[in-house]
Amino acid sequence: MLSRDIPLREKSIVFIGFMGVGKTTIGNLVAEKLGRKFIDTDVELEKEFQMPISQVFTQLGEKEFREKEKALIMKLSQERSLILSLGGGAFLQKEIREACLANCIVVNIHLPWESWKERIPLLMESRPVLQGKSLEEIHELFQKRQEIYAHYHHKFETENLEAEEVSDEIVKTLLLNKQIKVKNIVIGDGPPKICVPIIGKTINQIKKEAAYLKTIEADLVEWRADFFEHVEEINQVKSALEVIHKELASIPIIFTFRSAREGGEKDISPDYYMELNKAVIHTGLVDIVDVELFSDEDIIKEVVNTAHANHVFVIISNHDFEKTPPKDEIIRRLRKAQELGGDLPKIAVMPVSANDVLTLLEATLTMNEHYADRPIITMSMADKGKISRLSGGLFGSSITFGAAKKASAPGQIAAAELRGILNILYRG
């Protein structure tokens, strides 16, 4: 089984382990914490057979059950961002093992024999492979299965732990790897990376801005194409991109068309918005595209799929220029961006008070610690929100936006000044 090119943060998580160790309970909790869909393959198979698994074994035989089990798991292993709990015998099949190990994150849930055997009376009726066996035979089965379960990416012991505790430890472990490498920049590692905009209206202005950006300390460059006077002509957009890429080939380039409703310079039709982003992705001249969260969901999915197929990362963003939503709503939007496949969920909000800035920072911290499985970007705009551009990284924001000569959003700080302050804040 060849590995599909699924980004780590989008791989489905597969729980394996002996029957009755708590895979379903723990898997459900992990799914809830990560905002993912949970599937118990045994439950799905019972729906397909329209009878309990114990009856499938007695009426149709184990062979037919295993064939259906393999077909189901092979299919699910190709999908992204699921939480799967496999039946205790599923990993006996080589094809299932290879598919899950190649395409998913395999988590082994283990309970020692001495503790597990206390559960036998609760399991006997519903587990046909246990029925008619002596304790010694069950122990032998338990030991043999451990050899199969030795194929995993992570292993968690559950003895003397509540399911909630185990699920918290799993989520903590899986969320530690929240980094994206773009060219020579690792987003999510160390201080927030500084992104600086290009906002020229003409190709000549764009060329001058790109040349100037080589002289300042920017980690990433965002081309705000909505400022470009010929943005509605794709060939002109491609020409401008060639100019930018020629000047800044070693720096990650973000392509952004910001709509007027989210603070941009103009609006375009939804169809052209999708066509524009897909055309830019296919040039191979950009590293990241920014797609607005409140675009049509089908458009978002199409752009995300096109980007990932061409090894381009995606920011899914939301900008609220009127207010700062409540903490739970900020988190909901970031989680939605993550669910839609955004590699970098982003939100920028407008504060009317200092408390609004605190709301944004608190939402950032909660999202980063409890829900995010990838880097996130957050900021509070305008003068009141400047502190979030400086200290956001302490709460979990991975990119901050600075200005070169002219800001593209309210509250942006000059990139050189921003670098100096970040060096002080994140020193050591």
- Distance, C-alpha 302 to centroid of its chain: 17
Residue 365 CB neighbour total at 10 angstroms:
17
Tokens encoding 29: 């909790």
191-220 burial: b if 16+ Cβ within 10 Å, else e: bbbbbbbbbbeebebbbebbeebeeeebbb
Q: Would strands 180-182 and 185-187 be described as parallel, antiparallel, or unpaired?
A: antiparallel
239 and 229 in contact (C-beta within 8 Å)? no
Torsion of CA 60, 63, 67, 68, to 10 degrees: 30
Q: Would strands 313-320 and 288-292 be described as parallel, antiparallel, or unpaired?
A: parallel
Cα(258)–Cα(264) distance, rounded to whole angstroms? Answer: 4
Query: Of 197, 170, 183, 21, nearest to 109 (Cα)?
Result: 21
Where are the alpha helices (H) located in 249-326, listed in sequence order? 270-283, 297-309
Cα(264)–Cα(416) distance, rounded to whole angstroms? Answer: 25
CA–CA distance from 236 to each of 91, 205, 229, 260, 357 (Å)? 54, 14, 9, 21, 39
Cα(53)–Cα(65) distance, rounded to whole angstroms? Answer: 8
Residues with a catalytic annotation lie at: 319, 346
